[in-house]
Structure 1
Amino acid sequence: MSETAVNHDLTAIENRAPNVGRQFFDRVQASPNREAYRFPKGDAWESVTWKETGDEVTRLAAGLVALGLEPEQRVGIASSTRYEWILADLAIMSAGGATTTVYPSTMAEDVAYILADSECRVVFAEDDEQVAKLTAHKSELPHLDRVVTFDGTPDGDWVIGLADLEKLGEELLAQSPGVVEERIEATSPDALATLIYTSGTTGRPKGVRLRHSSWTYEGTAIKAQGILDENDLQYLWLPMAHSFGKVLLSTQLACGFATAVDGRVEKIIENLAVVRPTFMGAAPRIFEKAHGRIITMQQTEGGIKEKLFNQAFAVGTKVRQLKLEGKPVPFLLAKQHALFDKLVFAKIRERFGGRVRFFISGAAALNQEVAEWFHVAGILILEGYGLTETSAGSFVNHPDEYRFGTVGQVFPGSEVRIAEDGEVLIKGPGVMDGYHNLPEQTADTLQDGWLHTGDIGEVDADGFLRITDRKKDLFKTSGGKYIAPSSVESQFKAVCPYASQFLVHGNDRNFCVALITLDPDAMAEWATHNGMTGASYKEIVSSQKVQDMVQGYVDQLNARLNRWETVKKWILLDHDLSVESGELTPSMKVKRKVVEGNYKDQIDALYR
């Protein structure tokens, strides 16, 4: 077995706050008048300081105590990403409770399962739609005493508003001013802070039990690496029900930067231009979409603009290669590059606000070519890696030390091993206590303190981890050749700017086939330039022109693959995969087994 770790000064990590409530109020005390959050209010953005946030969290935490919340009892949050989500989360943990996260897109039956399994006492519900899911399954939720709604309609009894909860808190604080501080003091580092239900690509979601010390570790470990400080500005849109969003909150508490919060995905590009952040976390799909959009826009423009664009990237690629090799850039090439930077690359950077120091990509694998393309344009995407079971972050690349195609080096204070079968094993303060009410699955995943991730990877001599695939996704052809489907799938997204999903199949078969979906937004744009304006997605993708175009991209993909990996046949689906259809998890991962089951007949037909 190989083993590696990165050496850092671990003093700050060892001396970190004992719980999230203390970490939050330490930040309030250290930066009372600095901006903490900003959020959309109508057409403008409203800003609050750490002191103002602290006062509001105190009132809400006291309100939860007034409702009878006991230490480590669970409180659900069923809402999209917004400032109130963060207030609720901080209030729950400051009151000694444990946050249970629920995606707003989760079906009512699954919401009921999660809240019943976690025995939630209180639930913060965003609006009437979320309240209705709870009301419909009220008889299955015997532990649920009260619902607190952000924007929904209170009924004065079971459902109350956020202002009502604050009022309860104010009344309790008038009698017992130190009630929240007492709860924080009584919360041990090992106390349950969060129960996150993995959206799961198979079966029922599992509740991952994460301690306070895991979250304080995550934030402090990132701070110890010197990546971010209080002068940064984060733009946060990620779903907070996902551990990637949650870890960025603990990072903010440790580092002290301000965060602009708006969970509306359709507003990302518009908001980036207004907020002008210095960094943002995102899933690879955001970068793939942005890359595809810019490429197709240039192809549509054609003529001199497209030539200029292509030339800029040719020059930029040469300059980047010379710098990576530590060689000087010739004078004329440097002059050319400076001109192209002004004419082409600066405009790409401006789309993201113009001030981004780096993006952090997580939750799925980022295609190396897409990362390198952005880098040529002067935009650095640092890939990281972790699981819900490791409180999200376990590895990350650094702005001054990164390798594309890897997820960086292990966090200070954690360790990594590669098992004999290639599986990545992780040990450290971020690793979960176990799965809620699932002792057997906990024992399978946690062995001697080492978390078995289910991912296959390799660590280089400098400690950079490269993930090659999910262990359960690897398959063998009837010819005995092993194939890592995610590698092939990722490469298709790099060559085809219209791609949304590309799923490779071939287990025990004599060749590989693929199911393909295209991005509906990109195809609507394509249709306006190809005489199909107003046509439905189904009509567009079934046209001969699109079928021929996709075949061209499949041919490009096959030219770079080993013979046994090449895709011999494929189907273009007449709809994109979605969370609503049950084919994607709420965090946008493909449920491979569900998709294979749904299209079994079509896949079998490709082999006849």
Structure 2
Amino acid sequence: MREYTAPSVQAVAEDENMADVVWVNAERFGDTVSFRRHRDGSWYDVTAREFAAEVLAVAKGLMTSGIGKGDRVGLMSKTRYEWTLLDFAIWAAGAVSVPIYETSSAEQLHWILSDSGAKAVLVETAEHAATLEEVRGRLPELDNAWQIEGDKPAVSALSSLGADLADDQVHERRRSVRAADLATIVYTSGTTGRPKGVMLTHHNLLAEVRADINAFPQLMGAGNSLLLFLPLAHILARAIALTAFTSRATLGHTPDIKDLVADLGTFRPTFVVAVPRVFEKVYNGAKLKAHSEGKGKIFDAAEATAVAYSQANDSGGPGLGLRLKHAVFDKLVYTKLRAALGGRCIAAVSGGAPLGARLAHFFRGIGVPVFEGYGLTETSAAANVNTEGAFKVGTVGRPVAGTSVRIADDGEVLLSGDVVFSGYWNNEQATAEAIEDGWFRTGDLGELDDEGFLKITGRKKEIIVTAGGKNVAPSVLEDTLKANPLISQAMVVGDQRPFIAALLTVDEEFFPTWKSQRGKPESATVSELADDPDLLADMQAAVDEANKQVSQAESIRKFTILPRDFTEAGGEITPSLKLKRNVVSKNHANAIDSLYTR
């Protein structure tokens, strides 16, 4: 199959916008608990009515400060309640929100604020304010900056500022915004060059929200709850948050993944959204704990049973023996694994990178199916997703409602529909290169099966061509390697070289455990153990496992262990953990050369 279209479920009217839902919820379902805020170790309810009052107060402050319809407002913060509140307040004021990763450098912050022409910015901390101060002299269009934390918190400062403005003026402003108007400019983290500003309209976001509600009716609705921990500057987390709020599920925010297990235990969500790395860490952590407590054989048997049970559900269903084994392990092991997610979690949504078939089967087998999807910033998040009623492990599902997918002659995945962006801000050339005859060229390679399920096979620009002319998609190897608990990052190399090789980094969280297991000195560094036979053997085992996924000509022949991990600060990975291959290649040129000269 070369093309598949999923019909729309609910058309977006011309006079709709994303701010509408705040007052729809407040007027019709005012007592619904829309949020639970984390303060001083406890969660406090925020009703739909209370949230609308806060949004209105902040919007009045933004308008009083001089923010006009269509003006851009930057938002730089970790994931927290105020992020979502400010996002809706910006829309209620008729303005355009411009998310900025809270880890951004001064120059990255400058580029986004200057390119977008932002009139104001909201930052979270004193450190962010200091970063802004470094470049503010070069931002002539920036009139105002507010800080979420500190002596004059942004929410209360703006609420006080706009206290004398009539409520009707906000309502008149927000009602003047049309579906076709710009809602947000989201700067892609960019694995090459400067980030591009993706223009998403209210129509795009409304279509995404409705498509997601259609895809996940069992998750999106009153009585369900979602704990957000991914950065809201990432379109995946933001789209799911907007969908959950619209469907009247209860939202919680946690800014620090280090507190995630404790927060999951107290918030007890019914579903979560994460990138594959989080699911890998949950799985690896549980396995490691079981083995360290002498229960490794039980866990391994439970894991094998969960995978087999999930696989059997794809081929006629499990037999009596497998059902009995599964029931036993459900009491012994799976309930404890589900408890780690809060005990009420019935499903999860994953995107941003491939999950891996075994991990997908494992989580589905323990009773927490992970619905893997696919999309880009340019598609308002999900363009394809697996659902409860249409699930194929190893694929990213069918297109969401109102979206079409096509496979070009060269294998590139093309997308069109209501969720697809209109272009890049201030960049007509990039827009012309990305959109052709209404189809967005994703840059990803993929295949459609005869039921319309999409499988991503690689990245067009990342294809390695060896000296022998063999085309190799590195993602298959890299994703398998990174699923190993010992490995943090992996980059496959070999372009115009005689064979495929890899740069590997050690997972800093797992490394102390590995040293303890292998009897290595507690103080030993990765650099000191780079030639250690045990470390090399374990890395080779991971490489051997990855090589099973490809042909001999595509397999990794050599690897080297780097003394440090790739970092965002070093420019080697993006905030969403994607490799910047050109930077890594430059920073580690000697290590790459040594793979082919020794």
- Fold in common (TM above 0.5): yes
Question: Structure 1 residues 550 and 300, CA, compared in 2 at 3 Å: closer, same or farther?
Answer: farther
Mapped to 1, the partners of 2:239 and 2:279 lie a distance apart of: 20
Tell me the amino acid that sits aligned with residue 101 of structure 1: P
Task: State the match for 1:157 in structure 2.
Answer: none
* Farther off after superposition, 541-550 or 416-425: 541-550
* Farther off after superposition, 60-69 or 272-281: 272-281
How do residues 387-426 of structure 1 correspond to structure 2 at under 5 angstroms? Answer: 387-426=376-415
1:139, distance to aligned residue in structure 2 (A) = 1.4
Q: Please report the TM-score for the alignment, with normalisation by the length of structure 2.
A: 0.96
Task: State the match for 2:469 in structure 1.
Answer: 480
Question: Structure 1 residues 67 and 276, CA, compared in 2 at 3 Å: closer, same or farther?
Answer: same
Mapped to 1, the partners of 2:206 and 2:287 lie a distance apart of: 41
Q: Give the share of equivalent positions with the same residue, in percent.
A: 37
1:560, distance to aligned residue in structure 2 (A) = 4.6
Mapped to 1, the partners of 2:272 and 2:425 lie a distance apart of: 31
1:2 to 2:16 alignment: no
Mapped to 2, the partners of 1:430 and 1:50 lie a distance apart of: 26
* C-alpha RMSD of matched pairs (Å): 1.8
Pick aligned residue for 1:38 from 26, 36, 41: 36
Tell me the amino acid that sits aligned with residue 429 of structure 1: D
Residues 311, 361 of structure 2: 8 Å contact kept: no
Mapped to 1, the partners of 2:465 and 2:406 lie a distance apart of: 25
Pick aligned residue for 1:529 from 487, 493, 517: 517
Tell me the amino acid that sits aligned with residue 561 of structure 2: L
Q: Please report the TM-score for the alignment, with normalisation by the length of structure 1.
A: 0.94
Mapped to 1, the partners of 2:262 and 2:297 lie a distance apart of: 28
Task: State the match for 1:556 in structure 2.
Answer: 545
Pick aligned residue for 2:579 from 565, 585, 590: 590
1:314, distance to aligned residue in structure 2 (A) = 3.0
Residues 489, 502 of structure 1: 8 Å contact kept: yes
Residues 346, 368 of structure 2: 8 Å contact kept: yes
Task: State the match for 1:48 in structure 2.
Answer: 46
Mapped to 2, the partners of 1:453 and 1:201 lie a distance apart of: 14
Tell me the amino acid that sits aligned with residue 82 of structure 2: E
Task: State the match for 2:182 in structure 1.
Answer: 192
- Measured against aligned partners, the alpha-carbon deviations of 1:87-107 in whole angstroms (never above 9, x if no partner) come to 111000110000011111100
1:13 to 2:2 alignment: no
Q: Secondary structure of 2:19's match?
A: helix
Residues 77, 124 of structure 2: 8 Å contact kept: yes
1:130, distance to aligned residue in structure 2 (A) = 0.8
Residues 131, 152 of structure 1: 8 Å contact kept: no
Mapped to 2, the partners of 1:497 and 1:237 lie a distance apart of: 21
Question: Structure 1 residues 100 and 559, CA, compared in 2 at 3 Å: closer, same or farther?
Answer: closer
- Measured against aligned partners, the alpha-carbon deviations of 1:508-529 in whole angstroms (never above 9, x if no partner) come to 2221100001211111222233
Residues 481, 564 of structure 1: 8 Å contact kept: yes
* Farther off after superposition, 15-24 or 355-364: 15-24
Task: State the match for 1:458 in structure 2.
Answer: 447
Residues 296, 497 of structure 1: 8 Å contact kept: no
Q: Secondary structure of 2:415's match?
A: strand
Mapped to 2, the partners of 1:256 and 1:275 lie a distance apart of: 16
Tell me the amino acid that sits aligned with residue 266 of structure 2: V
Pick aligned residue for 2:354 from 354, 360, 365: 365
Mapped to 2, the partners of 1:129 and 1:230 lie a distance apart of: 38
Question: Structure 1 residues 394 and 557, CA, compared in 2 at 3 Å: closer, same or farther?
Answer: closer
Q: Secondary structure of 2:492's match?
A: strand
Task: State the match for 1:238 in structure 2.
Answer: 230
Mapped to 2, the partners of 1:340 and 1:394 lie a distance apart of: 36
Mapped to 2, the partners of 1:400 and 1:524 lie a distance apart of: 42
1:183 to 2:176 alignment: no
Pick aligned residue for 1:124 from 122, 125, 139: 122
How do residues 201-212 of structure 1 correspond to structure 2 at under 5 angstroms? Answer: 201-212=191-202
1:359, distance to aligned residue in structure 2 (A) = 0.8
Task: State the match for 1:95 in structure 2.
Answer: 93
Residues 19, 174 of structure 2: 8 Å contact kept: yes
1:271 to 2:269 alignment: no
Mapped to 2, the partners of 1:536 and 1:151 lie a distance apart of: 37
1:319, distance to aligned residue in structure 2 (A) = 3.2
Mapped to 1, the partners of 2:469 and 2:183 lie a distance apart of: 47
Residues 504, 560 of structure 2: 8 Å contact kept: yes
1:316 to 2:306 alignment: yes
Task: State the match for 2:507 in structure 1.
Answer: 519
- Measured against aligned partners, the alpha-carbon deviations of 1:462-497 in whole angstroms (never above 9, x if no partner) come to 111111111101122222221110011122234x22
Pick aligned residue for 1:378 from 367, 377, 392: 367
Residues 305, 325 of structure 2: 8 Å contact kept: yes
- Measured against aligned partners, the alpha-carbon deviations of 1:333-374 in whole angstroms (never above 9, x if no partner) come to 432321111111211111111211111111122222221222
Q: Secondary structure of 2:213's match?
A: helix
Pick aligned residue for 1:497 from 474, 485, 493: 485
Q: How many residues align?
A: 594
Q: Secondary structure of 1:521's match?
A: coil
Tell me the amino acid that sits aligned with residue 199 of structure 2: R
